[in-house]
Structure 1
Amino acid sequence: MTTAAVTPAAPPAARFDRRLIAPMILGSVLNPINSSMIAVALIPIGIALGAPPSDTAWLVSGLYLATAVGQPVVGRLVDTYGPRRLYLIGGVLVGAAGLVGTFSPDLWVLVIARVLLGLGTCAGYPAAMYLIRRSGAESPAGVLTALAVSAQTISVVGPTLGGLLIGVGGWRTIFAVNIPLAVACLVLGARRLPRTPLPATRARVDLLGIALFTVLLTTLLLVLMRPAHWYLLPITVLAGAALAVRELRTPEPFWDLRVFGGNLPLLATYGRNLLSYVIAYGFIYGFTQWLEAGRGLSASVTGLVLLPTFVAAMVVSTLTGRRAAVRGKLVVGSLVQVAGALLLLTAGPHSGVLLLGAVALVAGVPQGLNGLANQSALYHQADPARIGAAAGLLRTFMYLGAIVAAAANGAFFAHGADTTGLHRLALFLLVVAALLLAATVADRSLGRVGTKKG
């Protein structure tokens, strides 16, 4: 009697440890929730502290400036020391920022609190991407989707939550809420994140590169926020040139430009992320301020008007998240952003709530597509050994987009968040959306991301 050959069973695919999901998501949403809640607080803070929109815009830019610089640094440290240590340090900083903001006596102390928040929220996202990559899971689409959906959902529900908090306890509550969030991070991080042994050799931090990048961003931001500071442009250019020379020559650079040169698809993903978030945050901050100052709605009602943005983003992300291909998502997301900018041009001081809700609904669709698609593209394009730093840079370009958006809002609303300023902002966003669409269509490498061949 012959015996049929038995084919050895394939080893089971690695499964992601679901106990990590809660601390990963909580750490990753700390920045989006603080980014979006502040949108409905800018007008109340300005009134309470006697500050114009051009000054309160620093509450947005201060956080993003700190985070744009801090994300690549922390991402690199996560790759070296593991996620747990950096995650817990970040939680401590977030709690401290909550305390400083809650008891702040003036605007510029609030800006310091926002800078602390920016630094404290740097670890969550790189730590999450590190854990996903190192898990060995064969198909991480579900975890990546959960990460993206949570961040996007929090980004757009933030104004609604912020409006409710302000309605209950005033604008200081949007700072105070960070205290229990920080405690939750510390408890979950300490109990669930894996311990990582210290490396045999101590990592070298490129302090000069960090300093040059900080000078580059700070001077550029000052020029964008107040064109009267045009004389700082030569410093911006010199800092950029010095940064490029430094990063190409040092063996352990803060911003590895050589990786960019050898990975153009990844560089294109960073560029798309920047353009996507110029539009997303331009809308969140601009439309929100106009609803309060130009349309005359309260912070609580404004938050409710923006609720369709949250619903649309959540539904779209959930329905499309497990589809690995990204090109179609980015094309549709860009087209809808063009439509959203055109629709924003129709808003006026007498617009009905239904029209305003429709504007918010349309704005939510690309938020459910673009961020998720760019995150998936990075996961496939980045060097696995540098996933923390690569993820940090993805967030850096997101924050650069937010900085540009904040500067645009400061410029177009220099004399108040009126309808004329809103329409000028809409035209600006229309141009950026057209650039994003063109960049997406021209990038042929996207067709291979998430496919069996890619």
Structure 2
Amino acid sequence: MTTAVAVQTFDRRLILPLVLGAILNPVNSSTLAVALVPIGLAFHALPAETAWLVSGLYLATATGQPVVGRLVDRYGARKLYLAGAALVGVAGVVGVLAPSLGVLVLARVLLGFGTCAGYPAAMYLIRRSGVEKPGGLLTALNVSAQTVVVVGPTLGGLLIGLAGWRAVFAVNIPLAVLCLILGSILLPRAPRPGAHVRLDHLGIGLFAGTLTALMLYLQEPSVRLIWLLPLAAVLAGGFVWRELRYADPFLDVRVFGGNGPLIATYVRALLAQTVAYAYLYGFTQWLEAGHGLSASHAGLLLLPMSLVAVGVSTLTGRRAEFRGKLLAGALSQLVACALMLVLDAGSALWIVVIISVIFGLPQGLNSLANQNALYFQADADRMGASAGLLRTFSYLGAMVSSAATGAFFKHGADTTGLHDLAAFLIVVAGLLLVLILADPSLRHLGAPTPKGIAATG
């Protein structure tokens, strides 16, 4: 299926609210990285227990992103954007006042659902504008989110040093208010949707159940919870059966099933983010618990990664060399993970800095390349759902990394656990490299067509 979109002019006043909405999730993903140890100490919780703070957000977001994206496709960006921003503000208040780890996990789940609208809304509005060369807009979107991801640990460390770990939840309140104000003023109102086809509630429920069962098992893989895997398989089968028979399915599995390059992009996102989040959370915990650094110092040691990632994204964002970017990203992950194998509690900090610098390359390349690839590969009529599903696979990677970190740091974030984690990540990065080399569609992706932008689905 090929959908041609007329070339129009993008209203650049939308950039600020769209960027703010898109960074809400990375703000909450990255600033927490240096807060896990202080929160664990405050509530006398082990790493396996505080891991639910990571998993709770990603479970909610991975399920909610494509659902909210589909709602954006149907009802427009404005309503979903504003509702999400309001929920983020509520979650910030809950986190600040949380009396226990369980309530704090609830705040993270609310944050996960609240941050679902920003990215699909941005991709929807950019694609609907029909911009023929979206590289600049997508780069601005990605660089802003990437900047927050990589600066987040440093910012989180400074906030914790100034006001304690609750500050990483409090920061959501002013951000949510700003999104509500700008969104109300600037985001366009969508026309009323047609009432002839009902929203696919059953399909959404089966999809959510499938992901929830799968991710709950990934959070704590064990024989005791093995029943979650056949449950996920049954729900997935029911989901496919439903989508093949519904007039306006939540996710048209026929479109996705026939679009091999788009599926490959989703799998690349999963693998790349497994490595990225394991480094962001696992390595940071080792710096604090295994190397004896404070949260503020651990955050500062990730600053070189921040600077490199932002610089690489800015310099390469407009270039359409998808394959080259992805190859460089995968190779950098392999090298950085291999260097993690030489670390121990007495390692010089300059080695940590080198690893941080190398990790900046894939942080600046992988997400941007996959996001740009999806822009050209996805059906324009389902851009919101497709963009949300990209985030779902990214968060599945985050869940895999969380499960791996919890398994290898079962008795604490020590050096042995770090080495086991690094070996696992080398395998994942190797699989990513093989997948990139085996995908010939990346060589010509994004070539212009006579009719403007064409999406093949």
| Residue 153 (1) aligns with residue 147 (2) | yes
Shift of 1:232: 2.8
Q: Is the 8 A contact 2:154 2:299 kept in 1?
A: yes
Shift of 1:201: 1.4
Shift of 1:55: 1.0
Output one character per residue of 1:177-204: Cα deviation in whole Å (capped at 9) or x when no partner: 1000000000110111111121131763
Partner of 2:190, secondary structure, is coil
**Mapping of residues 79-158 of structure 1, within 5 Å:** 79-158=73-152
Structure 2 residue identity aligned to 1:159: P
| Structure 2 CA distance for partners of 1:203 and 1:36, relative to 1, 3 Å | farther
Q: Is the 8 A contact 1:149 1:314 kept in 2?
A: yes
- What's the TM-score, normalizing by structure 2? 0.94
Structure 1 residue identity aligned to 2:76: G
Output one character per residue of 1:77-107: Cα deviation in whole Å (capped at 9) or x when no partner: 1111111111000010000000000000111
* Deviation larger for 12-21 or 311-320: 12-21
Q: Is the 8 A contact 1:80 1:203 kept in 2?
A: no
| Residue 302 (1) aligns with residue 298 (2) | yes
C-alpha distance in 2 between matches for 1:345 and 1:358: 13
C-alpha distance in 2 between matches for 1:116 and 1:306: 27
Match of 2:312 in 1: 316
Match of 1:436 in 2: 432
Picking from 169, 184, 206, the partner of 1:212 is 206
Match of 1:71 in 2: 65
Shift of 1:364: 1.1
| TM-align CA RMSD | 1.5
**Mapping of residues 251-262 of structure 1, within 5 Å:** 251-262=247-258
Unpaired runs of 5+ residues, structure 2, are 1-5
Output one character per residue of 1:222-256: Cα deviation in whole Å (capped at 9) or x when no partner: 32232142233222222222222222222232332
Shift of 1:452: 4.4
* Deviation larger for 130-139 or 292-301: 130-139
Q: Is the 8 A contact 1:327 1:446 kept in 2?
A: yes
C-alpha distance in 1 between matches for 2:337 and 2:436: 18
Structure 2 residue identity aligned to 1:340: A
| Residue 221 (1) aligns with residue 215 (2) | yes
C-alpha distance in 2 between matches for 1:204 and 1:275: 35
Partner of 1:369, secondary structure, is helix
Picking from 339, 359, 362, the partner of 2:358 is 362
Asked which structure has the greater RCO (Cα within 8 Å, sep 6+), the reply is: 2
C-alpha distance in 1 between matches for 2:196 and 2:247: 14
Shift of 1:13: 6.8
| Structure 2 CA distance for partners of 1:264 and 1:171, relative to 1, 3 Å | same
Structure 2 residue identity aligned to 1:306: L
| Residue 380 (1) aligns with residue 376 (2) | yes
| Structure 2 CA distance for partners of 1:430 and 1:85, relative to 1, 3 Å | same
Partner of 2:227, secondary structure, is helix
Q: Is the 8 A contact 1:69 1:210 kept in 2?
A: no
C-alpha distance in 2 between matches for 1:220 and 1:135: 36
| Structure 2 CA distance for partners of 1:37 and 1:118, relative to 1, 3 Å | same
C-alpha distance in 2 between matches for 1:213 and 1:281: 24
Partner of 1:122, secondary structure, is coil
Shift of 1:136: 2.4
Picking from 413, 416, 419, the partner of 2:412 is 416
| Residue 233 (1) aligns with residue 222 (2) | no
Give the ranges of 4+ consecutive aligned residues of structure 1 lying more than 4 Å apart after TM superposition.
Answer: none
Shift of 1:412: 0.8
Shift of 1:207: 2.6
Output one character per residue of 1:111-153: Cα deviation in whole Å (capped at 9) or x when no partner: 1111110111011001101111112222211011111111111
Output one character per residue of 1:154-187: Cα deviation in whole Å (capped at 9) or x when no partner: 1111111111111111010100110000000001
| Residue 196 (1) aligns with residue 190 (2) | yes
Q: Is the 8 A contact 2:150 2:303 kept in 1?
A: yes
Unpaired runs of 5+ residues, structure 1, are 1-11
Shift of 1:329: 0.5
Picking from 158, 172, 176, the partner of 1:178 is 172
Shift of 1:343: 1.1
C-alpha distance in 1 between matches for 2:196 and 2:152: 39
Output one character per residue of 1:390-426: Cα deviation in whole Å (capped at 9) or x when no partner: 1111111111111111111111111111111111110
Q: Is the 8 A contact 1:98 1:113 kept in 2?
A: yes
Q: Is the 8 A contact 1:33 1:155 kept in 2?
A: yes
C-alpha distance in 1 between matches for 2:393 and 2:368: 15
Structure 2 residue identity aligned to 1:293: A
| Residue 53 (1) aligns with residue 9 (2) | no
* Deviation larger for 197-206 or 381-390: 197-206
C-alpha distance in 1 between matches for 2:196 and 2:302: 47
Match of 1:35 in 2: 29
Output one character per residue of 1:295-345: Cα deviation in whole Å (capped at 9) or x when no partner: 110000011000011101001001100102211101111111111110111
C-alpha distance in 2 between matches for 1:73 and 1:30: 18
Structure 1 residue identity aligned to 2:69: G
- What's the TM-score, normalizing by structure 1? 0.95
C-alpha distance in 2 between matches for 1:241 and 1:183: 41
Picking from 363, 386, 390, the partner of 2:386 is 390
Structure 2 residue identity aligned to 1:172: R
Match of 1:8 in 2: none
Picking from 273, 278, 285, the partner of 2:281 is 285
